[in-house]
């Protein structure tokens, strides 16, 4: 006879979960309709974007001494930046500038998170501009949602046509301006207006028009979340004192709706009224109340939206704010910390080194190319080597130069040793060096060419080469 084993039946249950936002997108790839809003950070972003647009679209049209002020002329390998002209030999300075910019980005990320993405990144800036075009052609958020669901009728076709026309116009202007930094903008604009543009210029204008139209108009947040590598490694630069956009859970929970004038504690609620405004204004469609997320670009739109709701409810601002993990945990944010100080010191040193390098940059350049023939004997019976001197006048004025040999005892420089170069001119000067001694001391010796400005001896350049001679002569 078997014995029955006593059992107890347990009822399964699911733990309660926070109420999901009604308007949160299930996927970042869904179409996001943002709500209009106002606030301090929106104003800062508009001022910053206005300045950047003025700088980008306006600088290309400035003139300097009869030429375009900023022009990276790839065909002639000249890079004009107002009164300075840079050559490929100066690319080390460009590399240094890029390194400084990278360290600056790291420093600002350690201090205040992804403010670059939210305020100055071209992808974000142009996306906000395209979203404004949507607003003026299709209406605010609710109107756009209704228009999206509406059948294709005359009103919808007209509004969509107007929107895409604005997008295309902005894209063409952007592409023309960008290409205009590498090709003179005025002839380029004339060719575009007269439909005479062709070749390489036409290709790049079409390419950047399409890139702007697709990235800012269609891809938008997908570029930030799936294509940009910055979002992937920015978390490595964060620490517990980094100022990031955060939701104050201790103050906001439990969230829920309530009437105006009711104290949250009396209703057993936190300050968050669960209005979803922070979600509706987010350009990437995330809910900041879920914590810091990779998709957050640090634009602070949720801060402006939440502050406006707090003002209406009579609550203190700052439920969503720039704050650190330490402060959210009840501690104090340490603004000056070793990591940030280290970045600052490195930046100061590199900027100082760049300024010093710019001041010490030689305004004349000379490269020496030895002839492929080893040596020859001239009419006087001397051993002679042939060289080609590539000389560049890096100044904006005509200059007079003299070429000589440094410590050239025993050698004779022959050829054109006095020359005049126009501003920014580059020339090749063939010269020869003859050995005065009957027998060389070595089969290969180092010789140094020197070019000096006759009016300003401080402007000079040196270049080494080899002199080859037979020992068994």
Q: Is the pLDDT of residue 50 over 90?
A: yes
Cβ-proximal residues to 300 (8 Å cutoff; 6+ apart), any chain: 41, 42, 45, 118, 245, 322
Q: Is the pLDDT of residue 360 over 90?
A: no
Q: Is the pLDDT of residue 273 over 90?
A: yes
Q: Considering only the top CATH level, what class is 364-468?
A: mainly beta
- What phi and psi values does residue 302 have, to the nearest 5 degrees? -65, -30
Q: Is the pLDDT of residue 381 over 70?
A: yes
Stretch 166-183: mean pLDDT, rounded? 97
Dihedral-angle region of residue 296 (phi above 0 means left; psi in -120 to 50 means alpha; beta otherwise): beta
CA 5 – CA 23 distance, rounded (Å) = 51
Q: Is the pLDDT of residue 56 over 50?
A: yes
- The residue with tokens 């920015």 is 234
Task: Show the tokens assigned to 14.
Answer: 């699911």
Cβ-proximal residues to 106 (8 Å cutoff; 6+ apart), any chain: 237, 343
Question: What would the pLDDT profile of 426-463 be if each residue is shown by its tens digit?
Answer: 899 999 999 998 888 888 899 999 999 999 988 999 99
Stretch 255-271: mean pLDDT, rounded? 89
CA 78 – CA 71 distance, rounded (Å) = 8
Residue 412 vs residues 245, 326, 441, 449: alpha-carbon distances, Å: 72, 74, 16, 12
**What pLDDT is stored for residue 148 in this prediction?**
94
Q: In the predicted model, what is the mean pLDDT of the chain?
A: 89
3-state secondary structure of 417: coil
pLDDT category at 395 given cuts 50, 70, 90 is: confident
Contact predicate 395/368, CB 8 Å:
no
Stretch 150-166: mean pLDDT, rounded? 97
Question: What would the pLDDT profile of 11-25 be if each residue is shown by its tens digit?
Answer: 443 433 344 444 444
User: Any idea which of 205-214, 280-289, 373-382, 442-451 has the lowest mean pLDDT?
Assistant: 373-382
**What pLDDT is stored for residue 443 in this prediction?**
87
For the chain, what is the total number of helices (H) and then of strands (E)?
15, 16
**What pLDDT is stored for residue 6 in this prediction?**
52
**What pLDDT is stored for residue 151 in this prediction?**
95
Contact predicate 361/93, CB 8 Å:
yes
Stretch 28-57: mean pLDDT, rounded? 90
CA 295 – CA 49 distance, rounded (Å) = 21
DSSP per-residue string spanning 208-261: HHHHHHHIIIIITHHIIIII-THHHHHHHH--TT--EEEE-HHHHPSP----TT
CA 440 – CA 468 distance, rounded (Å) = 9
CA 125 – CA 117 distance, rounded (Å) = 9
The stretches of 272-378 forming alpha helices (DSSP H) are 277-280, 301-313, 325-328, 338-360
Q: What is the DSSP letter of 112?
A: H
3-state secondary structure of 93: helix
Closest C-alpha to 60, from 82, 78, 76: 82
Q: Is the pLDDT of residue 114 over 80?
A: yes
Task: Show the tokens assigned to 91.
Answer: 């690319």
Contact predicate 177/60, CB 8 Å:
yes
All structural domains of the chain with their residue ranges: 1-60+113-330, 364-468
3-state secondary structure of 364: strand
**What pLDDT is stored for residue 72 in this prediction?**
92
């Amino acid at each position: 006879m078997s014995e029955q084993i006593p059992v107890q039946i347990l009822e399964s249950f699911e733990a309660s979960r926070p109420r999901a936002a009604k308007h949160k997108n299930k996927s970042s790839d869904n179409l996001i309709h943002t709500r209009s809003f106002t606030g301090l950070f929106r104003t800062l972003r508009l001022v910053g974007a206005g300045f950047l647009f003025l700088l980008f679209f306006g600088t290309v049209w400035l003139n300097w001494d009869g030429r375009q002020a900023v022009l990276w002329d790839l065909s002639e390998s000249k890079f004009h930046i107002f009164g300075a002209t840079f050559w490929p030999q100066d690319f080390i300075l460009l590399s240094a500038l890029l390194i400084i910019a990278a360290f600056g980005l790291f420093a600002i990320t350690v201090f205040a998170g992804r403010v670059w993405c939210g305020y100055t990144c071209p992808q974000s800036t142009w996306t906000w501009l395209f979203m404004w075009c949507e607003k003026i052609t299709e209406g605010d958020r609710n109107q756009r949602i209704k228009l999206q669901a509406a059948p294709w009728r005359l009103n919808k076709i007209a509004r969509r046509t107007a929107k895409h026309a604005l997008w295309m116009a902005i894209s063409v202007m952007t592409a023309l301006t960008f290409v205009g930094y590498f090709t003179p903008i005025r002839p380029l604009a004339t060719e575009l207006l007269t439909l005479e543009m062709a070749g390489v210029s036409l290709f790049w204008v079409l390419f950047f028009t399409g890139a702007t139209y697709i990235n800012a108009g269609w891809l938008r947040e997908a570029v930030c979340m799936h294509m940009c590598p910055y979002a992937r490694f920015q978390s490595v630069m964060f620490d517990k004192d980094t100022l990031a956009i955060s939701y104050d859970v201790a103050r906001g929970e439990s969230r829920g709706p309530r009437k105006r004038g009711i104290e949250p504690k009396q209703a057993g609620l936190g300050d968050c009224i669960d209005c979803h405004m922070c979600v509706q204004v987010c350009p990437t469609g995330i809910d900041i109340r879920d914590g810091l997320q990779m998709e957050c670009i640090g634009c602070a739109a949720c801060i402006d939206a939440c502050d406006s709701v707090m003002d209406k409810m009579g609550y203190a601002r700052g439920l969503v704010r720039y704050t650190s993990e330490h402060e959210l945990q009840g501690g104090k944010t340490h603004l000056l910390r070793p990591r940030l100080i280290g970045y600052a010191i490195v930046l100061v040193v590199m900027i100082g080194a760049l300024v010093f390098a710019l001041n010490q940059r030689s305004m004349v350049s000379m490269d020496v190319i030895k002839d492929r023939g080893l040596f020859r004997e001239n009419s006087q019976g001397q051993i002679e080597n042939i060289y080609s001197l590539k000389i560049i006048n890096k100044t904006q004025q005509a200059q007079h130069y003299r070429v000589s040999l440094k410590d050239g005892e025993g050698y004779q420089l022959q050829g054109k040793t006095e020359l005049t170069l126009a501003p920014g001119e580059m020339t090749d000067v063939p010269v020869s060096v003859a050995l005065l001694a009957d027998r060389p001391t070595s089969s290969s010796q180092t010789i140094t060419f020197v070019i000096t400005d006759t009016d300003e001896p401080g402007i000079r350049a040196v270049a080494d080469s080899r002199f080859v001679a037979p020992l068994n002569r």
